[in-house]
Amino acid sequence: MIGRAEALAELEHRVGHAFADRDLLDQALTHASVGERYPAAGHNERLEFLGDRVLNLVIAEELVRRMPKADEGELSRIFHQLVNYQACAVVARAAGVPDALRLGGGASKAGMRESERVLGDACEALIAALYLDAGLDAARGFILRLWADLLSEPDAAQNPKTQLQEWALAQGRPLPEYRVLQQTGSAHDPRFVVEVAVHGYPPVSAEARSKREAEKLAAEQLLRSQKGTL
């Protein structure tokens, strides 16, 4: 694992915000398992409480904007798919939270650095830290950017693109990169050839009637090609 200072710098880069209050960032990424070892930093449970409320507001606001004809039941169903700890854990991994987490020794050995519950809580604490350091617009920008795939497809936690992203990060690689190699056909019957590349592995391409579907197929094929390493 990379050093924590380097991990914090990488996280700020992915989040797109340099914290003015470094102690706030440190607290957001400090788990309660550290006990009294880092009393100056404190742990992240209070920030988690606040971040959960900020996340709920931003996602609810965005769903109402995107789905003007949806009733309360439909909005609630999708809302709960987007703000649960599994969704937060997906975002936490994309932001680089696992390497930046400060855990107690026993917790780290017990594998809590990859626990979806721990990562989900840390993601909410990070949202609160952004909100307190730079305001609601900064927190909203982070949420809408990192939740983009999940907002497009609320079941994206099971999406091959999300699975490939998590696998790439677990291998210590940058996020997968997608590019359209070819677009053919008419407006009523388009075809897209999309390539996905993960640094250090051969790129894979796939064809479908939409860019999004081609991306999913390419991601699935790349995951399959590396199944021996998963």
Residue 149: helix, strand or coil by DSSP? helix
Nearest to 117 by CA among 87, 157, 149: 87
Sequence-distant (6+) residues with CB within 8 A of 163 are 219, 223
**Contact 168/176 with Cβ under 8 angstroms?**
yes
Nearest to 28 by CA among 107, 100, 85, 136: 100
Q: Which position among 26, 48, 52, 99 bears the catalytic label?
A: 52
d(Cα 201, Cα 62) in Å, to the nearest integer?
36
Sequence-distant (6+) residues with CB within 8 A of 208 are 191, 192, 194, 214, 216, 217
d(Cα 210, Cα 194) in Å, to the nearest integer?
10
The answer to whether 52 is a known catalytic residue is yes
Sequence-distant (6+) residues with CB within 8 A of 226 are 167, 201
Tokens of 213: 């579907």
**Contact 1/99 with Cβ under 8 angstroms?**
yes
Q: Which position among 26, 48, 121, 124 bears the catalytic label?
A: 124
CA separation (Å) from 87 to 2, 129, 171, 173, 193? 25, 19, 20, 21, 29
- Active-site residue numbers? 52, 124
